[in-house]
Amino acid sequence: MPDEFAMGWLKAGFNFWQSLPVTNARDMTVLDANGKDIYPVSSCARNIVMQASANYWQRQTELWSDAFAGVIGVRPKSVAEPERGDRRFHAEDWSSNVWYSLLKQSYLLNARMLEELVEASTLDEKEKHKLRFFARQFIDLASPANFVATNPEVVRQAVESKGSSLLSGFTHLLEDLKQGTISITDQSAFEVGRSVAVSEGSVVHENDLFQLIQYAPLTPTVAQRPLLIVPPCINKFYILDLQPENSFVRFACEQGLTVFLVSWRNPQQDMAQTEWDAYLEQGVMKAIEAARTISRADKVNALGWCVGGTMLSSALAVMRANGDESVASVTLLTALLDFSEPGDLGVFIDEMGVSMREQTIGRGGLYPGRELGFVFQTLRANDLIWPYVVNNYLKGRTPAAFDLLYWNADTTNLPGPMYSWYLRNMYLENNLRVPGKLTMCGTPVDLGRIDMPSYLLATEEDHIVPWKSAYRSTQLLGGETQFVLGASGHIAGVINPASKNKRSYWTNDAVGGNADEWLASAAKQPGSWWNHWIEWVKRHAGEQVKARTTLGNATHKPIEAAPGRYVKVRAD
């Protein structure tokens, strides 16, 4: 989506400058180029602009006065400081050196002034959200920490290395330009199947769309009903099986569950015509059928994460409409069913962009995983872009090895028809929440037909699936619902190992009303939500039976060892 990103940036900037109140000095009326009043500015917006301007110039005056005091030997006070958690200005020079302190504080004052002007604009909330996002991109880009001459650490390292750090950085830049992405981790430190995705198991079913992995039991007895995991098709599944100490798959096996997991194929040109319905009928539904058959269980418990949760819910709605009761419970991790407030991803979605996709790759083609990966990086630019620009190119260093970032960089393509349909019917038109509005696999879809118990996890700081949007799913599903809010974000909030028992989560059995009301009476629980979930899912897992040492069955014989071939295919 880089083209959409650039177009959105320009459009947002144009709308912003058009929206700012152009006033005369006497009565603050809004004037056009001929001096005529166009429309009245709300007194609130006018007051925000005036107050922001007054505060800005007052702080700038204090800043320059303090800077002068620092020159003559008086220790200056701080006028502006970065927010907690902002790691860009940790070096001592940003505070002790008058010049760099002036740069830092002036930048922060300008950034806050721009943010206040954005909030004072007369755009509607949807357009203001876009403007807020693109203004933040500009603010992050303009940081003095991102440039050689204005970053004290970069300057010092260049001097001490006699320029070799800058030469190494230029070499890294050329390498990244060749591969078309910013390196965010040491790729050589990991290998799928050796250092990540190492849980023991076998591929017991495969078709052109996915491989089904069955994991080896880790307990003498297991619950009769297995757990089927449907991960998002926009990423590789092994985020749920990184390394033994933070593997959700291993945790579930250790707790006595038989675990099956869908490993989506990384689409190549032979999948350029694949549609959304195929992911349901030949993907999710086939996986449910195979897991139930292999385990000889009456039902399975199903879990979907992110887009995998949307797919799983869609498939379950189709199955229930056709009288299929083979799923005992459903768990949705940070998944959207109501897309009315899709968070920052929504800034990239409009009619023009979706129509363009439909007219191009929507008729047959692939959406490159590299482009999708770039979009997700822009959502957290100060964590996933600029630190690596500074580290790799300005300081000439190699990024550290980090399993989660290795997974993050292992992108997947998407079939154009499936992706275009998903954009229009979910993000743009929000059709899934309307009973009967969509027909999938020849069946009108009504999420209210999903009448089995459901466990819905959202995370407090999720920038991809805002937790209040995820909460709306409680009003759409037809069964008894347990909603849980975890700490942290979209990835770290989910991958919160029970063994480490860090962070916290909120619970409240009274699901109803809006998200704020739910949170107001929710109880905060210390530790990982994994422990809470496993107790919930065990209530729907059936009796204990002896664990089977042989994976698969006569119909679904083991094809190869986990993690299988499909997950190892890299995006072009």
- Residues carrying an active site annotation: 306
Read off the DSSP letter of residue 243.
S
Q: Round to the nearest angstrom and report the end-to-end CA distance of the chain.
A: 16
Quote the CA–CA distance of 513 and 505 in Å, as a whole number.
Answer: 20
Instruction: Look at residues 135, 139, 143, 142 and name the one whose alpha carbon lies nearest to residue 14.
Output: 135
Q: Which residues, at least 6 apart from 312, have a Cβ–Cβ distance to it below 8 Å?
A: 230, 284, 302, 303, 304, 330, 332, 335
**DSSP structure class, residue 236:** -
Strands 227-230 and 221-223: unpaired
Residues 6+ positions from 408 with CB-CB distance below 8 Å: 184, 185, 373, 376, 384, 491
Best CA proximity match to 255, nearest among 226, 290, 218, 285: 218
Cα 561-540-250 angle, rounded to 5 deg: 30
For CA atoms 128, 134, 138, 143, give the dihedral sign.
positive
User: Which of these, 301, 325, 304, lies nearest to 538 by C-alpha position?
Assistant: 301
Scored b (16 or more CB within 10 A) or e, 146-162 reads beeebbbbbeebbeeee
Question: What does the block give as tokens for 477?
Answer: 């599903």
